[in-house]
Amino acid sequence: MEYTIDDISIRPVETMEEIHGIVDVQRDAWQMDDLGIVPTFETKAVSKIGVVLIAIDPDDTVVGFIYAYPQFPNAHYSHMMATLRKWQGRGVGYKLKIAHRNIALESEHNINLIDWTVDPLLANNAYLNFSKLGVECSTYYTDFYGDATTEGAGIYQGMPTDRFLVNWNIRDERVASRMDNQQIDQIDQSELFSRSPPINKIEDSSWIEIEAEYSNSFSVQVPSDFQKLKQENLEIAMDWRIKFRELCVKYFEQGWKAYDYHSFVINGIRINYYEFKLGEK
């Protein structure tokens, strides 16, 4: 039977059998060897001091999970979230994030921030985190997990493991609005360009710079399928990693932040942009 997102329930992990299900999700989602998988005993321990949620189908199969622990004094660090590949892009991650936020809001520790790292060039991650959840980012980690050029690195093999550290201010009015209304900042491309002129474009999969005049915000076009680009042309994908890294490091140091993410379909082609905004240092 084919289940839908409405059939998926979210709850805290309870049994070691479910924790083994989390291991299965990690292997399937990231295609890593055992060195990159979080041990079952560690997951059990964190479930007692932090937040370990599972998404399960009616057959009690674990199809996704969140793994987070406390961060002094009133924050959570969400170390991992993943879903089985057949469930990716179907709303499981969003449902897990909503459940995590609800737990944090009800916590006696007055949690107001959840942060985590994410590959900024993966479109599905960016759309979930920035468009739907309303995170922001002003921290860029270069090669955060180290060398991924060897066997066993799964889907991250062959590419520096650069990451955004995103901040989800769960009590912020902007975040609450997106959660309560389940709506993104719905604008068209012309509106985006009007308020945040693009500083680049994509031609033949490559980054092409554009001269643009901007003051408080600008936009950056990014690949719609970075994993596919990496498989088809590793050299161009590496160039994207380096150019986007250089841009983020430069502007974050100057007090800018990645503020939103917009995805449009124009003439049948998916086109994606980060929106950067000048903030306080």
Where are the domains positioned within the chain? 1-111, 113-281
**In which band, very low, low, confident or very high, does the pLDDT at 80 lie, cut at 50, 70 and 90?**
very high
DSSP 229-274: HHHH-HHHHHHHHHHHHHHHHHHHHTTEEEEEEEEEEETTEEEEEE
Q: pTM value?
A: 0.92
Q: Lowest-confidence range among 53-57, 148-152, 216-220?
A: 148-152
Tokens of 247: 């841009």
Q: What is the mean pLDDT of residues 44-53?
A: 95
Residue 147 has pLDDT above 80, yes or no: no
Lowest mean pLDDT among 86-95, 116-125, 149-158, 222-231: 149-158
The whole-number pLDDT of residue 182 equals 66
Position 280 scores a pLDDT of 60
229-279 confidence digits (pLDDT tens): 999 999 999 999 999 999 999 999 999 999 999 999 999 999 999 999 997
CB under 8 Å to 273, separation ≥6 — which residues?
Answer: 192, 198, 219, 220, 221, 222, 261, 262, 263
pLDDT at 21: 97
Q: What percent of the chain has pLDDT over 70?
A: 94
pLDDT attached to residue 180: 77
For the cut 60, the answer to whether the pLDDT of residue 281 exceeds it is: no
Task: Quote the mean pLDDT of the chain.
Answer: 92
If you search the block for the tokens 């709506």, which residue do you land on? 183
| pLDDT value of residue 90 | 94
- pLDDT over 80 (residue 33): no
Beta-bridge partner residues of 141: 163
User: Collapsing DSSP states into helix, strand and coil, what is residue 153?
Assistant: coil
Provide CB contacts within 8 A for 209, sequence distance 6+.
Answer: 199, 200
Q: Which CATH class is domain 1-111?
A: alpha beta
Average pLDDT on 210-222 reads 95
Q: How far apart are CA 247 and CA 222, in angstroms?
A: 12
